[in-house]
Amino acid sequence: MTHILHLDASARPGLAGKDQHGSHSRNLSHRFISQWQARRPQDVVTYRDIGQNPPSIISHDWIASSFTPEPKREAWMHDTLAESDRLVDELIAADVLVIGTPLYNFGMPAALKAWIDQVVRPGRTVDVDESNPLDPYAPRLADRPRHAVILTARGGVGFDVGGEMAHMNHLEPNLITALGFIGITRVHQIAIEGQEVGGELLAESVKQALGKVDALVAELQRSLQAERVEEPA
């Protein structure tokens, strides 16, 4: 059985094409999940709408608590980290992380950054070896194959690698760096562009992206099945 963690980060609550001012990134992520479940209804999906229910922003107390070794934490420290522990547990359990997110002002929405800050945790998702200051970090989520699917919607065009605006895209590169830091390195990306342009350009981009989503679902399901066959008994 495969576990999927599905995050939506858009501030828009509805789906593009169905709701006024609906979200294109939500449309992609919900298409991915619906296609996946149509093929594999037995798999488990955990859903978090962080766009409508953002995680807490980390604080001084959070930092002090997370960098205090578990046996030395006081009761208030455990309370401070309770939300983070829930989010980390969901991520650790996941075989596939699906993130639906818009590009806001050349980067990720604040809600998604808050989630990243909550799940990059010393002792939970990354180990820190203070005796090796030149290379102190070791990802903990590299213990088994995990995939991340980043489904993006952009107002402009040319933000893909090699595009004229690629140097201004700090969304996917930031996510890929943060996820790789904790051990999730199998990353798949699909984007819609031209939301602000609209018309045929947007319609064609949506059509192509939905087709890529369907193909990626089939590809990932085959890949995960092959990875399980290769695991030692």
The mean pLDDT value for 135-159 works out to 95
As a whole number, the mean pLDDT across the chain is: 94
Instruction: Give the pLDDT confidence of 95-112 residue by residue, as tens digits.
Output: 999 999 999 999 999 999
User: Any idea where the domains of the chain sit in the sequence?
Assistant: 1-228
| Residue 232, pLDDT above cutoff 60 | no
Tell me the C-alpha distance between 191 and 205, whole Å: 8
Contacts of 121 (CB under 8 A, 6+ apart): 66, 84, 88
Strands 186-192 and 3-8, bridge-based pairing: unpaired
The mean pLDDT value for 205-232 works out to 89
Tell me the C-alpha distance between 103 and 89, whole Å: 27
Tell the burial category of 23 from Cβ atoms under 10 Å away from its Cβ (0-12, 13-18, 19+).
buried
| Residue 231, pLDDT above cutoff 70 | no
Instruction: Give the pLDDT confidence of 20-77 residue by residue, as tens digits.
Output: 788 999 999 999 999 999 999 999 999 999 999 999 999 999 999 999 999 999 999 9
For residue 100, the SS3 value is strand
23 is in an annotated binding site: yes
Tell me the C-alpha distance between 80 and 32, whole Å: 34
| Residue 230, pLDDT above cutoff 70 | no
25 is in an annotated binding site: yes
Q: Tell me the pLDDT band of 18, cut-offs 50, 70 and 90.
A: confident
What predicted TM-score, i.e. pTM, was given to this entire model? Answer: 0.94
Architecture, CATH, for domain 1-228: 3-Layer(aba) Sandwich (3.40)
| Residue 124, pLDDT above cutoff 90 | yes
Instruction: Give the pLDDT confidence of 164-206 residue by residue, as tens digits.
Output: 999 999 999 999 999 999 999 999 999 999 988 889 999 999 9
205 is in an annotated binding site: no
